[in-house]
Amino acid sequence: MPMKKLAIAGAASLGLIAAVMLAIPLKAENDEGTIAKGHVILEANCARCHAITMDDTSHHKEAPPFREVVKRYPPEDLAEALAEGIISGHPDMPEFVFQPAEIEAILAYLGSLSPPNASPEQN
């Protein structure tokens, strides 16, 4: 019986990931309203530790500025982590789980921080 519960939980997780990925366009609409919404979400949830703009500083020494994060990870590659809950990061980082519309806005905002024609660093 425990294996059956594990299989059901796994299938439900895969279903949630698929639903989120289908609800989020491959490239988020980068209109000003969506970008502004993403900024508001990040300001409310992340700015107490992370630098979220092009020229501010992180308030937490282990929280990288988002302008640096997007140099290492294309914003669209972060969609799944935003949907499931980001658990990596600085050690005292709370876990955040966002809804599809929020994720779309966050990705649009992070995309606005990406340098034009820059390819992510390979780690």
Q: What percent of the chain has pLDDT over 70?
A: 67
- Our count of domains for the chain comes to 1
**Per the domain annotation, does 71 fall within a domain?**
yes
pTM exceeds cut of 0.85: no
Give residue for tokens 């279903």.
15
Q: Residue 100: its pLDDT value, please?
A: 94
pLDDT tens digits along 21-63: 444 444 444 689 999 999 999 999 999 999 999 999 999 998 9
**Per the domain annotation, does 12 fall within a domain?**
yes
**Per the domain annotation, does 49 fall within a domain?**
yes
Q: Which of 117, 109, 120 is nearest to 54 (CA)?
A: 109
Q: Tell me which residue range forms the domain holding 27.
A: 2-113
